[in-house]
Amino acid sequence: MDRIEVKGESIECWDCGASFYLTAEEAEWFDRRGLHKPRRCPGCRKARHKRNPPTNYDEIIAQAKALFPNDYRQGVRQ
């Protein structure tokens, strides 16, 4: 129960070239919403959204935060 095998893929960020990991669960989430899989690492995605937020940004972020807390923990100082 404490270990779940999840298939995923390693993606190279378009912006900074860093590799990041997209789990199958995350990929499915993007598929379900009819979105392309992310091509940028969480850090670059965040930076882009800040510069150019989509209209439903708040809704997307709220959902993404709930689903991928690890993405959003990065860079947050506590």
The residues of the shown chain that bind Zn ion, judged by CB under 5 A, are: 13, 15-16, 18, 41, 44
The distance of closest approach from Cβ of residue 56 to Zn ion in the complex, given in angstroms and rounded to an integer, is 23
The residue type at 55: T
The distance of closest approach from Cβ of residue 77 to Zn ion in the complex, given in angstroms and rounded to an integer, is 20
Place of tokens 């379900």: 32
User: Quick one: 15 or 59, whose CB is closer to Zn ion?
Assistant: 15
Yes or no: say if 38 and 15 are a contact pair by the CB < 8 Å rule.
no
The distance of closest approach from Cβ of residue 32 to Zn ion in the complex, given in angstroms and rounded to an integer, is 24
Q: Which of 54, 46, 53 is nearest to 70 (CA)?
A: 46
